[in-house]
Amino acid sequence: MAKPLYSGPNTITLPAAANGLANGAAVQSAAVNNTSDLALEDLLRVTVKTAAGTLAANAVVNVYVAGSLDGTTWPDGLTGSAGTFTLPAAPNSTFLGTVNVNTAAAATVSRKFPVSLAFGGTLPPYWVVILSNATGLALDSSAGAVAVYEVVQTQ
């Protein structure tokens, strides 16, 4: 029986705007290229920290993913390059989950997500992460958001 083989963490490129990301704003990552890894699963970890202040009720950072077959055609006006992003009211990107933020300006909080679930169990050749801040505060100016993924293959 095949066993999982884990790659170790790989950093996902987020724009500088992810640090200090305003409440109500969003960013997209650079594309993750799965054409060479040929991963069966990518485990995504999103870590966030807010600035000081009063959090909104139910403060979260929403996490979406979007896939591309060729690395150039993306939904919702995404580009596959790290940058700021305006999330449409009815996005075609897939909602993956939330990172719940319970304390402002505290230690970072993180959550892991299996990315393939957003794509029906099969990773696309290319995918991006979208982070949308709904905490009521800006994210921390130096440690606002970090995204890493771990490739899962069989051995």
As for how many domains the chain has, the answer is: 1
Range of the domain at 18: 4-154
> Is residue 66 a contact partner of residue 81, using CB atoms and an 8 Å limit?
no
Residue type, 147: A
From first to last of the 155 residues of the chain, give the pLDDT tens digit.
778 888 889 999 999 999 999 999 999 999 999 999 899 999 999 999 988 888 999 999 999 999 999 999 999 999 999 999 999 998 999 999 999 998 887 668 899 999 999 999 999 999 999 999 999 999 998 888 899 999 998 88
The tokens describing 13, both together, are 């490129």
Q: Which residues contact 75 (CB under 8 A, 6 or more apart)?
A: 66, 91, 92, 93
Closest CA to 27 of 73, 83, 93, 103: 83
At 103 the pLDDT is 82
**Partners of 79 in the β-ladder:** none
CATH of the domain at 37: 2.60.120
